[in-house]
Structure 1
Amino acid sequence: MLIRKLRIKRGWSQETLAEVSELSVRTIQRVERGGNASLETLCALASVFEVDVATIAKEKSVYTENELPDNERKAVEYARDIKGFYSHLVLYIVSVVVMAAGNMYFQSDNLWFIWPSVGWGLGVASHGLAAFEILSFYDVNWERRQIDKWSSRGQHK
Structure 2
Amino acid sequence: MLIQKLRLQRGWSQEQLAEVSGVSVRTVQRLERGQPGSPETLKALAAVFDIDDFNRLKEPAVDAPDLRSDLRPDEAFALARVRRVKSFYIHLIEYLVVIPALALINVVTSPSYWWFVWPALGWGIGLAAHGASVFGAVGLFDGAWEKRQVEKYLGRDL
Give the TM bin, normalised by the shorter chain.
0.3 to 0.5
- TM-score, scaled to structure 2: 0.46
Which structure: greater helix fraction? 1
Report which structure shows greater RCO (CA 8 Å, sep ≥6): 2
Query: Which protein has the larger Cα radius of gyration, Structure 1 or Structure 2?
Result: 1
